[in-house]
Amino acid sequence: MANVEQSEGVILNKREAVHRNPKVIAVTSGKGGVGKTNVVGNLAVSLAKMGKSVVILDADLGLGNLDVLFGVVPKYTLEHVILGLKTLPEIMIPGPCGIQILPTSSGSEDFTHLTPEQKLVLLSELDRLENAVDVFLIDTAAGISSNVLYFNTVAQDIVVVVSPEPTSISDAYAIMKILSLRHGEKRFKLLVNMARSTRQSLDVYRKLSLVADRFLDIGIDYVGFIPQDDYLRMAVFEQKAVVELFPGARSSVVFTDLADKVMQWPSNDLPKGNCQFLWKRLLNGSNSMEKC
């Protein structure tokens, strides 16, 4: 009996090691320039500092700049993967603290609206990658294009980044509305960036929850806020993550806390972010993906 239990234990451990469900998190916004790329980059480095294996995907196809944030120059990009010329591991470039970057090209219009076939190629590649990853962060483009909607539906958690500007708030509402009405997304995490105070940040959250409660059937979880921080801007100019260059800066401290929080978010047994699961849904003829 002891032997059976022991061998079952070994099998379970092996299974755990081979298949650890990664957290798949999309970072999105309605409006551009609100800080998505910086959130993804700094959160990734903070998670890596905690010993997590992190992959970041630049999903702003055609206008990606995650590589620029880290001062790395990609030879191959996601576009090569979509064309079937390269695999994801072949285009990956190492970033700070062991993070892995899946870069995209900049200045090409060809992939701004992925076809269903191109999405399938990407999905199956992601599927093969996910076992070795703890956290998979997706930096989406701004707006409500089909690519943005698609990458959000692939994720398990959707973090909506918003700044206190009224235009950013109304655009954040717009993206949540479309994701909820057209794609059945019901839960969003709100991260307020460039806020001056907790009060200002909570005010943004209240405004959005009020309209969402009234007009949409969704739940918005307040994740917190990242302060307006000149050190972050300086780090951008140095093409480094602020958590790396100025670990004591106010924003860096918040990113470190955020990384802790992220690791506490529950992971589902059948996560939406598990691409295998999506793949099966797709093969079973669910039309939810066709709408993406």
Ligand X SMILES: Nc1ncnc2c1ncn2[C@@H]1O[C@H](COP(=O)(O)OP(=O)(O)O)[C@@H](O)[C@H]1O
Binding site for ligand X (CB under 6 A): 29, 32-38, 193-194, 226, 228-229, 232-233, 236, 251
Give the shortest CB-2-to-ligand X separation in angstroms. 55
Give the other-Cβ count within 10 Å of 206's Cβ. Answer: 11
Q: Output 111 or 282, the one with its CB closest to Mg ion.
A: 111
Measured CA to CA, the distance from residue 274 to residue 79 in angstroms comes to: 22
Give the shortest CB-42-to-Mg ion separation in angstroms. 13
Measured CA to CA, the distance from residue 259 to residue 92 in angstroms comes to: 22
* Residues within window 130-149 making contact with Mg ion, judged by CB under 5 A: none
Q: What would the DSSP string read from start to end of 141-204?
A: EESS-HHHHHHHHH-SEEEEEE-SSHHHHHHHHHHHHHHHHHH---EEEEEEEEESSHHHHHHH
For the chain, what is the total number of helices (H) and then of strands (E)?
A: 13, 8
CA nearest neighbour of 225 among 248, 257, 249: 257
Nearest residue to Mg ion by CB is 37
Give the shortest CB-173-to-Mg ion separation in angstroms. 20
With CB cut-offs between 5 and 8 Å by kind, which of ligand X, Mg ion, none does residue 38 bind? ligand X
With CB cut-offs between 5 and 8 Å by kind, which of Mg ion, ligand X, none does residue 33 bind? ligand X
Please select the residue that binds Mg ion; options are 29, 37, 100, 228, rule is CB under 5 A: 37
Close Cβ partners of 118 (under 8 Å, ≥ 6 residues apart): 82, 111
With CB cut-offs between 5 and 8 Å by kind, which of ligand X, Mg ion, none does residue 140 bind? none
Give the shortest CB-220-to-ligand X separation in angstroms. 19
Give the shortest CB-26-to-Mg ion separation in angstroms. 13
Give the shortest CB-58-to-Mg ion separation in angstroms. 8
Q: In the structure encoding, which two tokens stand for residue 215, read together? A: 């007009």
The answer to whether 228 contacts Mg ion (rule: CB under 5 A) is: no
With CB cut-offs between 5 and 8 Å by kind, which of ligand X, Mg ion, none does residue 35 bind? ligand X
Q: Phi/psi at 109 (nearest 5 deg)? A: -85, -10
Binding positions for Mg ion, rule: CB under 5 A: 36-37
